[in-house]
Amino acid sequence: MDHVLQLVYLLAAVSFMVGLKMLSRPDSARRGNAIAAIGMTLAIFATIFLFRGQDGSHLGNLPYIFIALVVGSAIGYLMAKRVQMTAMPQMVSFFNGMGGACAAMISLIEYGHLSHAAESGDAALFQTKIPIILAGLVIGAVSFSGSMVAYGKLEGKLKDLSVRGQQFVNMSFLLGILLLSVLFALGSLDGVWFYLILGLSLVYGLLFVFPIGGADMPVVISLLNSFTGVAAACGGFLYDNYVMLIGGILVGSAGTILTVAMCKAMNRSLTNVLVGNFGGGGASGVGSAGVEGTTKEISLSDAAVLMKYAKKVVIVPGYGLAVAQAQHVCHEIETLLEDEGVEVKYAIHPVAGRMPGHMNVLLAESNVSYDKLVEMEDINPEFKSTDVVLVVGANDVVNPAAKTDPSSPIFGMPILDVEDSRNIIVLKRSMKAGYAGIENALFYEPQTFMLFGDAKDSLTRLVSEIKSN
């Protein structure tokens, strides 16, 4: 029976890899997600029905296991069905935090088991597994508390919070946790210190995420996701469970690769992420030179004429489009313009929205063709030949200060080169600063025109104007 279980684990692990590979393409992502989910379901039920302990016994407490599965599945299903696309980052952070909490609980439970084993004379097993237990405890606890803060900040319930010497405080906590963990693993500390390490890890998770500005949240979500994967892999080591180990490694490595990509896209170093040295999300624009000039508004009629008689239009979606739920109207404009012979594409910045891939999923939801979603590196050379750029709810990812203002907190961040186009129409509710809290020099460029109002309402009226002109 053990051979059958290992075969199921192998199939499940392969399904994870295939699913992860398919997630790299928008047109296959849904199938990949389903394949990986089927593999995980097989692994769970195979463990329940086929696993045997060293004494040949089955798993116990099956009623509790099935109650937990039913309740957890129902809660997850309802949350997933009801969540708005704008709240998807919050849900990802929440679920990620639950994964970290589970990993930390595994370490707590196994520490109790191994402590009893050590008291019974099996000290060698305790010394062998205690480093893995400590790793799962620390990483899982940091992921849990950090993810909960990220959830609260994305939900608007928590504000950025930092103290003087934040780097020093964070590094002191981190070094203290590592030192205590090493001493505990060497046997120099007793059991009380194990719970102190847990407490310090939870506090470090809070200190790690609290000072981070909202504009940097995509990186934080990716990093915490990789933490949870590593913590899950530690559980796989503890139980000699290969499918759990492989799943954790895949999540951890994929999250780490994505974190590095996000850091590059936002001009952040991974070292700064680890010590919590991110920019705040205040609206004061401190550190950024003042922007001088005047803005020009454009009427709906003029905007419609400008777009209808263009040869090429590029739409730049941002979080404002998600908030207004304007993706379907945006797709309608795309269809109308293409009927008039206009070439239409979407420019996707790696960190547009509140999490990686946010805009891709949002636009795919409104049936925008995948081949029209063009990444930043590919679309930037095309702006010089673009007649009209329609910026819908984006701000920091099109701010030229990233290239021209060394005092700006976003200086060095790769952006969409929309200022190279012939005409720019920006849809915004007001002149309020973006999520990074700084003014946007693009709004004062001579070829930029502002169209104020709710994005969905403005686009809906723009549809009517395009049809009537």
Contact 319, 393 (CB under 8 A): yes
* Exposure letters 424-458 (e unless 16+ CB within 10 A, then b): bbbbbeeeebbbbbbbbbbbbbebbbbbeeebbeb
Question: How is 52-101 classified by DSSP, letter by letter?
Answer: --TTSPPPS-HHHHHHHHHHHHHHHHHHHHH--GGGHHHHHHHHHHHHHH
Contact 130, 182 (CB under 8 A): no
| Helix, strand, coil percentages, rounded to 5, for the chain | 65, 5, 30
Question: Among candidates 160, 147, 152, 158, which has minimal Cα distance to 93?
Answer: 147
**Catalytic residue at 371?**
no
Helix or strand holding residue 213 (H, E): none
CB atoms within 10 A of CB 203: 15
- Beta-bridge partner residues of 428: 452
SS3 428: strand
CA pair distance 243, 233, nearest whole angstrom: 9
CA pair distance 220, 214, nearest whole angstrom: 10
- Terminal Cα distance for the chain, rounded: 72
Question: Among candidates 348, 321, 320, which has minimal Cα distance to 414?
Answer: 348
Catalytic residue among 302, 378, 396, 420: 396
For the packed helices 242-266 and 2-22, what is the interaxial angle rounded to 10 degrees?
20
Residue 388 per-residue DSSP state: E
Question: Among candidates 398, 430, 435, 433, which has minimal Cα distance to 414?
Answer: 398
Which contacts qualify for 255-261: CB closer than 8 Å, 24 or more apart? 255/222, 255/223, 255/225, 255/226, 255/227, 255/228, 255/229, 256/223, 256/226, 258/222, 258/225, 258/226, 258/356, 259/219, 259/222, 259/223, 259/226, 261/350, 261/356
CA pair distance 219, 257, nearest whole angstrom: 11
Cite the active site residues.
Answer: 396
